[in-house]
């Protein structure tokens, strides 16, 4: 295979790069000039996929090849590298080396040592994925690292997409597929309105070749709160619809029905009848509850509280759940196991419940777009209410109230299996801001230049759920630190003096935090006047987004933040100036500030709402306009004047 430097020789630097001037090759000088701020550039980043038949099954091997030219002396991030594999996609034939320039020619320095280790993390009980770690030698500016390896796809349903773009620029990137004529492929391109990806196809030697390529690909800048690159980077998804073998057509991912029929094979072997112990627990949980709704709720909460989440990533075990009775006995499992237990317990109670496949918001695709396993990475259970309303039961989401989907599946399509052949697609609702509320009510007094007070905070919806994770992981000093961060306001001189928590373990009541605090040097005195800014908390103050931002900005949930401030005027002072009310209704960020006087007290009701899950680049102008409005409103202070 020709390297990209061979292409550059023919097209730009014909016969030049071997004739060095000093310690630099023409290619190195040209790339330094083209990418002056970049630490490295991919001269080529290619993938070649070859389909073949092994026995009666269709498999594929993919060769990954990349060549990286080092431009700056920032070597640590380029020295160490890893290649990943698993039982379903084993890796082989790793070749890694450095082309080191000695002033006259390049010398190959091949990597000899590859260390194979497991890549399991602390939350995974068993993981058959592994990695080969290695170190490139002589990684200095002007040298090139080269890596080639092969992945085998034993099941061709699990093929990755071809992603264009990286944190480093790419001179040329190419994806080539060699496919027997009896294999039917489907291609779909995403996020390429400007036509970055070029494609072609041709026949040769009884095969069909498909090629996608892109050149002069700019680097992807790290942008805060960006979703996965598949939301915005140009890429191609390829999947096998069907193939012919021995005169018969084998359907793999022809349509959504094909995908569902495959998924049903994962649950067909699960026993219908539950163990006597599981049935007894169901009877105990549902005893005395008249409505089906209350029975479902009781079972859901029990699974949430009593089954420990531990993932399994062992080949097809990553797709096949354990029987519900087994999970009930062991008291641990992953998302599939918790779904299996929920279905088993609900059915034992005589309630219809269904296995449900779904993707989290890490994945941009929907089943209506792509009938492939790329759409989902999660499993839940679904209960259909007596009126047909679906309740999405994700027991892995601790602290989540019944009726609330986990935040990570909002807006996603759920594939609900009704029977061996029947399924239905239901969209998980995006929870409106009115159900996710943070309320803070404070009573304040001035003591010299210090502001002292007590507050009451209520958390409902996702704010309660997210804080629940923090509270469950923290005790003693760590808990105090989290509470201080949660209620902190005013300045870095905020001191949490005391606090009390309520309703932490109650799924359906708001979490409450009662606290006392002080803020030193907050009140400014100029002559006989005191200046007090009642906007103690200033979220989104000057938080403008770059108009050149390329990636969307992701938000966990929509919400409303209500704050009530009541300041008692110090003896001998009266109000000299009260800020005007302010209001702004932006499409994603809005607010309303309302000031009032009541005797010797001043009050401020401040309401802020954030109303988006994904803020797209074309919406940044509107966002910045709202940020400007709220930042200006934050500047207003109350002025108190001495009557003496």
Give the chain's length.
Answer: 644
CATH topology classification for 4-251: Immunoglobulin-like (2.60.40)
- SS3 (DSSP) at 381: strand
Of all residues in the chain, the percent with pLDDT exceeding 70 is 94
Q: Is the pLDDT of residue 312 over 90?
A: no
- Note the pLDDT tens digit of each residue in 600-623: 999 999 999 999 999 999 999 999
Q: What is the pLDDT of residue 126?
A: 61
Mean pLDDT value of segment 88-92:
92
C-alpha–C-alpha distance, residues 101 and 19, integer Å? 11
Mean pLDDT, range 76-86, rounded to an integer: 90
Q: What pLDDT is recorded for position 243? A: 94
Residues 173 and 45 sit within 8 Å (Cβ to Cβ): yes
When the candidates are 1.10.357.10, 2.60.120.1130, 3.30.930.10, 3.40.50.300, the CATH number that belongs to 433-642 is: 2.60.120.1130
Task: Indicate the range of 12-26, 161-175, 564-578 predicted with least confidence.
Answer: 12-26
Residues 641 and 577: their CA atoms lie apart, in Å, by: 9
Q: Is the pLDDT of residue 217 over 70?
A: yes
**Mean per-residue pLDDT, 311-327:** 79
Indicate the CATH number of 263-427 among 3.30.390.50, 3.40.50.970, 3.40.228.10, 3.10.620.30.
3.10.620.30
Residue corresponding to tokens 């007290």: 601
End-to-end, the C-alpha distance of the chain in Å comes to 90
pLDDT of 87 reads 85
- Give the model's confidence band at 8: pLDDT under 50 very low, under 70 low, under 90 confident, else very high: very low
pLDDT of 347 strictly over 80: yes
Cα-only R_g, the chain: 30
The pTM for the full model equals 0.90
Chain centre to alpha carbon of residue 568: 45
Q: In three state form, how does the secondary structure of 177-198 look? A: EEEECCEEEEEEEECCCCCCCE
Q: Note the pLDDT tens digit of each residue in 380-422.
A: 999 999 889 999 999 998 889 999 999 999 999 999 999 999 9
User: By the 8 A CB rule, do 524 and 609 touch?
Assistant: no
* Structure confidence at residue 63 (pLDDT): 97
The pLDDT of residue 575 is above 70: yes
Which range of 2-6, 67-71, 313-317 scores highest in mean pLDDT? It is 67-71
Whole-angstrom distance, CA of residue 631 vs CA of residue 618: 22
Helix count and strand count (H, E) for the chain: 11, 38
**What is the pLDDT, as a whole number, of residue 335?**
93
Q: Where are the chain's structural domains?
A: 4-251, 263-427, 433-642
Query: For residue 115, with 0-12 CB atoms within 10 Å meaning exposed, 13-18 middle and 19 or more buried, which class applies?
Result: exposed
- Residue 11 is predicted with a pLDDT of 35
- H/E stretch holding 596: strand 589-598
Buried b (16+ CB within 10 A) or exposed e, 160-186: ebbbbbbebbbbbbbbbbbbbeebbbe
What's the gap between Cα 157 and its chain centre? 23
pLDDT interval class at 15 (50, 70, 90): very low
Contacts of 488 (CB under 8 A, 6+ apart): 494, 496
Tell me what pLDDT residue 10 has: 35
Sign of the CA dihedral 34, 36, 38, 41? Answer: positive
The answer to whether the beta carbons of residues 358 and 412 sit under 8 Å apart is yes
- Of 532, 564, 524, 519, nearest to 637 (Cα)? 532
Write down the pLDDT at residue 315. 56
> Of 166, 158, 151, 176, which Cα lies nearest the Cα of 94?
151
Structure tokens that stand for 520 in this block: 């030193």
Q: Do residues 83 and 66 lie in contact, with contact meaning Cβ atoms separated by under 8 Å?
A: no
CA separation for the pair 434, 438 (Å, rounded): 10
Q: Considering the chain, what percentage of its residues have pLDDT values greater than 90?
A: 82
Tokens 């026949």 — which residue? 203
Identify each DSSP E strand in 102-197 by its residue range: 106-110, 115-118, 124-127, 130-135, 144-153, 162-163, 170-180, 183-190
What does the pLDDT read at residue 129? 84
- pLDDT tens-digit series, residues 483-512: 999 999 988 999 999 999 999 989 999 999
How far apart are alpha carbons 269 and 232 in whole angstroms? 40
DSSP string covering 409-432, please? GTT-EEEEE-SSS-EEEEEPPPPP
Tens of pLDDT, residue by residue over 253-282, are 999 999 999 999 999 989 888 999 999 999
Q: What is the DSSP letter of 21?
A: B
pLDDT tens-digit readout, 93-133: 999 999 999 888 999 999 999 999 885 554 555 667 889 99
Supply the mean pLDDT for the chain.
91
């Amino acid at each position: 295979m020709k390297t990209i430097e061979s292409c550059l020789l023919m097209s730009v630097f014909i016969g030049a790069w071997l004739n060095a001037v000093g310690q630099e090759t023409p290619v190195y000088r040209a790339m330094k000039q083209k990418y002056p701020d970049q630490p490295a550039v991919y001269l080529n980043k290619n993938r070649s996929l070859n389909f073949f038949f092994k026995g009666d099954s269709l498999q594929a091997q993919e060769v990954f090849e990349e060549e990286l030219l080092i431009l700056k002396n920032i070597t640590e991030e380029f020295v160490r590298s890893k290649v990943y594999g698993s039982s379903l996609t084993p890796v082989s034939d790793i070749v890694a080396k450095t082309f080191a320039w000695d002033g006259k020619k390049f010398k190959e320095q091949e990597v000899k040592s590859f260390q194979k280790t497991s890549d399991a993390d602390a939350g995974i009980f068993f993981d058959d994925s592994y990695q080969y770690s290695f170190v490139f030698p002589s990684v200095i500016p002007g040298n090139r690292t080269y890596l080639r390896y092969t992945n085998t796809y034993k099941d061709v349903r699990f093929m990755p997409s071809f992603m264009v773009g990286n944190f480093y620029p790419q001179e040329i990137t190419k994806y080539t597929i060699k496919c027997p004529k009896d294999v039917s492929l489907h291609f779909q391109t995403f996020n390429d309105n400007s036509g970055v990806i070029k494609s072609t196809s041709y026949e040769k030697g009884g095969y069909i070749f498909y090629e996608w390529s892109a050149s002069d690909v700019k680097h992807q800048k790290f942008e805060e709160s960006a979703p996965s690159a598949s939301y915005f980077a140009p890429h191609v998804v390829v999947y096998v619809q069907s193939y012919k073998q021995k005169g018969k057509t084998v359907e793999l991912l022809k349509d959504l029905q094909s995908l569902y029929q495959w998924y049903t094979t994962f649950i067909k072997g699960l026993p219908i009848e539950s163990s006597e112990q599981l049935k007894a627990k169901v009877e105990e949980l549902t005893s005395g509850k008249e409505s089906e709704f209350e029975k479902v709720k009781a079972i859901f909460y029990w699974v949430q509280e009593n089954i420990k989440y531990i993932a399994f990533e062992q080949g097809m075990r990553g797709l096949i759940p354990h029987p519900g009775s087994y999970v009930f006995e062991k008291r641990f499992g992953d998302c599939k196991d918790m779904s299996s237990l929920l279905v088993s317990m609900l059915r034992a109670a005589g309630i219809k419940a269904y296995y449900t496949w779904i993707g989290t918001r890490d994945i941009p695709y929907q089943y209506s777009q792509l009938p492939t396993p790329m759409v989902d990475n999660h499993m839940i259970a679904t209960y259909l209410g007596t009126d047909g309303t679906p309740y999405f039961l994700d027991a892995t989401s601790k602290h989540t109230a019944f009726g609330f989907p986990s935040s990570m599946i909002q807006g996603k399509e759920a594939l609900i299996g009704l029977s061996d052949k029947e399924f239905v697609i239901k969209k998980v609702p995006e929870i409106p801001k009115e159900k996710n509320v943070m309320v803070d009510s404070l009573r304040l007094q001035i003591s010299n230049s210090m502001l002292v007070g007590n507050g009451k905070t209520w958390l409902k919806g996702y704010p309660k759920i997210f804080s629940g994770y923090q509270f469950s992981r923290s005790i003693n000093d760590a808990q105090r630190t989290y509470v201080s961060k949660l209620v902190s306001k005013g300045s870095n001189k905020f001191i949490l003096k005391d606090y009390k928590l309520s309703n932490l373990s109650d799924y359906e009541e708001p979490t409450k935090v009662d606290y006392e605090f002080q803020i030193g040097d907050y009140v400014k005195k100029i002559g006989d006047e005191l200046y007090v800014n009642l906007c103690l908390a200033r979220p989104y103050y000057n938080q403008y987004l770059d108009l050149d931002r390329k990636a969307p900005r992701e938000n966990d949930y929509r919400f409303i933040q209500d704050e009530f401030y009541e300041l008692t005027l110090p003896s001998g002072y009266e109000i000299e100036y009260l800020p005007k009310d302010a209001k702004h209704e932006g499409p994603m960020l809005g607010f309303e500030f309302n000031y009032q006087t009541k005797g010797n007290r001043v009050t401020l009701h401040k309401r802020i709402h954030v109303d988006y899950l994904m803020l797209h680049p074309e919406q940044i102008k509107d966002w910045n306009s709202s940020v400007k409005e709220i930042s200006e409103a934050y500047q207003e202070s109350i002025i108190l004047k001495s009557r003496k």
